[in-house]
Amino acid sequence: MRAIWKGAISFGLVNIPIALYPATRTEDLKFRLLRASDHSPVNYKRVAEADGKEVPWDQIVKGYEHEKGKFVVLKDEDFQRVDIEATQTVDITRFVNLAEVNPTFFHKPYYMEPLKGGDKAYVLLREALRASGKIAIAKVVIKTRQHLAAVKPQENGLMLELMHFATELIDVNEFKLPATKEVSKKELQMAAALIESMSDEWKPEEYVDEYRDALEKVIEEKIEKGDKFAPKAARKTKATNVIDLVSVLQKSLEESAGGRKKSKRAAPAGKQRRKAA
């Protein structure tokens, strides 16, 4: 895999050469628009709203709509005036407690690989962050765009995670929150017991994208059957009105306990299947 960015972590007098690699991949299935009659691909056209005519690239400019239907046109020189100098450094400005940062600020992770000569300082920063429970807050320019970012210890390495600026997050007070009501001690105990009964180790490999898997299966069957596959009707679920919270929690607790017992009894067979696979 090719690095998307090479530079250095910089804080104080410390400089650690690193390379950035994407830590995630897009798993969406890609589709093309086709004409129904002959399956000819349909391409997008740049069409002007005023007269419906196609507009060539050399006649297109960028505009900001400051009022409904009113635009300010920005030229290349306007963008150059606000261009941020790419310094090729992850410039750390301060260190903060990870527990104090709302998870909604974190956006996109990248692996940070130490380059030649940076191993010792890289390990030192990783261990210092881990021991302190802090993360580094930094600014970094990637592809001409300046980002807020966090440097975190991640297993045996360091992770750079791009962050949202505070102005990008919608205030939670804009949404309707539940009316303030106290829960009874019994309800709280039942809920705690249910959580405990359903608790287990975090095993991310056990969670898969069921929608993608099902869609891939539909595509494979349509290919094999010459586009004659009829999808199954979606299963309907009846809406329920929860009235007695304690009884619902009790029932969930019982079902959870029963499910765990069955899972334990079936564990050896599951392991055999996994080995066979």
Tens of pLDDT, residue by residue over 41-64, are 888 888 888 888 889 888 888 888
Q: CA-CA distances (angstroms) from residue 27 to 24, 208, 209, 211? A: 9, 11, 9, 11
- pLDDT for 130: 95
- pLDDT for 101: 94
* Residue 229 placed within a domain: no
Of the candidate ranges 45-54, 77-86, 257-266, the one whose mean pLDDT is the lowest: 257-266
272 φ/ψ angles, rounded to the nearest 5 degrees? -60, -40
On whether the CB atoms of residues 3 and 22 are closer than 8 A, the answer is: no
- pLDDT for 269: 44
On whether the CB atoms of residues 94 and 13 are closer than 8 A, the answer is: no
* pTM of structure: 0.65
Residue 163 one-letter amino acid: M
Give the number of other CB atoms < 10 A from CB of residue 274: 8
C-alpha span between 211 and 184 (Å, rounded) = 39
Round the average pLDDT of the chain to a whole number and report it. 81
Same domain as 189, residue 128: no
Same domain as 189, residue 134: no
Q: CA-CA distances (angstroms) from residue 80 to 75, 89, 270? A: 9, 21, 60
Same domain as 159, residue 99: yes
Same domain as 134, residue 191: no
Same domain as 163, residue 259: no
On whether the CB atoms of residues 150 and 136 are closer than 8 A, the answer is: yes
- Answer whether residue 140 shows pLDDT above 60: yes
* Residue 252 placed within a domain: yes
- pLDDT for 272: 44
C-alpha span between 79 and 107 (Å, rounded) = 25
What is the domain-level CATH number for residue 94?
A: 2.40.290.10
Q: Using one digit for the tens of pLDDT, what is the confidence trace for 147-185?
A: 999 999 999 999 999 999 999 988 888 778 777 678 888
| CB-count burial class (<10 Å; 0-12, 13-18, 19+) for 109 | middle
Taking phi first (over 0 means left), then psi (-120 to 50 degrees means alpha), and beta for anything else, what does residue 99 get?
Answer: alpha
Q: How many domains does the chain have?
A: 2
In this prediction, residue 266 has a pLDDT band, given cuts at 50, 70 and 90, of: low
Same domain as 141, residue 14: yes
Give the number of other CB atoms < 10 A from CB of residue 2: 6
Same domain as 186, residue 152: no
On whether the CB atoms of residues 144 and 129 are closer than 8 A, the answer is: no
* Residue 151 placed within a domain: yes
Same domain as 15, residue 90: yes
Continuous segment of H or E residues that includes residue 263: helix 245-276
Question: Of 86, 94, 101, whose CA–CA distance to 138 is shortest?
Answer: 94
| Domain interval for residue 187 | 182-196+247-264
By percentage, how much of the chain surpasses pLDDT 70? 83
Provide the CA 1 distance to its chain's centre, in angstroms.
20
161 φ/ψ angles, rounded to the nearest 5 degrees? -120, 115
The encoded tokens of residue 27 equal: 């798993």
3-class secondary structure, 184? coil
